[in-house]
Homo-oligomer: A and B are copies of this chain.
Amino acid sequence: MNNYKLVIAYDGTRYNGWQRQGNTENTIQGKLNEIIGKYLGEEVDVIGSGRTDKGVHAKMQVVSFKTKKSIDIEEFVTDINRYLPQDICIMEASPADGRFHARLNAVSKTYEYIIDNGEVPDIFFRKYSYRVEEHLDTDAMRKAAELLIGTHDFKSFCGNKHLKKSSVRTITDIRLIETTGKVYIYFEGDGFLQNMVRIMTGTLIEVGTGKRDYKSITDILEAKDREKAGFMAPPEGLSLTKVEY
């Protein structure tokens, strides 16, 4: 079997997330399996570096898949991009070592959350950002972010109440970048629990609007209780932007 690695981008707006869950159709993974499978004339099972929620985007998702066929890379990328809908795109493809696995080998991931915080909404960003009208105190948000960095049990920031595996993760960095009317938050870590980035973002927004003190982060982490953390920020502001191996 040949093993291939793809770097892809997708606009998650109209999809039910990366992976099929239960009976849910219309997923990014399903679309890739369908198009690549048809093209190669065999069933393929693309493996993503991780799931993204319904409505979440990826500027860089990494995928691996195995096939009996040997692929002409350049032709493959051109052809598959032609068959894929306009909101999914293969950016790079390369042959991979037979042992390469997009999910198991990922050592670090970066997510970007975009908040539209200008005086008036940026209508051209409305599908790729979350609009917050109140002024955000980004200094307070940075202090809160500092307390999230490190190795912690992030149970309070996990959307899956029935998680049986460990909820300990390591966040290596959280950076806030302000541009005119926007706040970009970059979360880098070894992995993230279900909804974790969106719950961290919601909590940081509550700090930024003064609803919550930045110091409360320590208590939230200690509580290991989802109820203690902030709201879950909506998916449209979130993109997976980097996966490292």
Interface residues of A (CB under 8 A from B): 9-11, 57, 59, 77, 81, 86-91, 120-121, 123-124, 126, 128
Partner of A10, one of B57, B88, B90, B123: B123
> In the complex this chain forms, how many copies of it are found?
2
Please state if B88 and A123 are interface contacts (CB–CB under 8 Å): yes
Which chain B positions have C-beta within 8 A of A88? 123
Q: Is the CB of B90 within 8 A of A120?
A: yes
* Interfacial chain B residues near A81, Cβ < 8 Å: 120-121
Min Cβ gap A176→B in Å is 21
Selected A-B contacts with CB under 8 Å, 17 pairs? A9-B123, A9-B124, A11-B123, A11-B124, A11-B126, A77-B120, A81-B120, A86-B121, A87-B123, A87-B126, A88-B123, A89-B120, A89-B121, A89-B123, A90-B120, A91-B120, A124-B128
- B residues in contact with A123, CB < 8 Å: 9-11, 86-89
The 3 tightest CB contacts between A and B, nearest first, are A91-B120, A89-B123, A11-B123
- Report whether B124 and A57 are in contact in the complex, using a CB–CB cutoff of 8 Å: yes
CA separation between A38 and B11, bound complex, in Å? 36
A90 nearest in chain B by CB position: B120
Known pairs A59-B124, A87-B126, A90-B120; list 12 more (Cβ under 8 Å). Answer: A9-B123, A9-B124, A11-B124, A57-B124, A81-B120, A81-B121, A86-B121, A87-B123, A88-B123, A89-B121, A89-B123, A91-B120
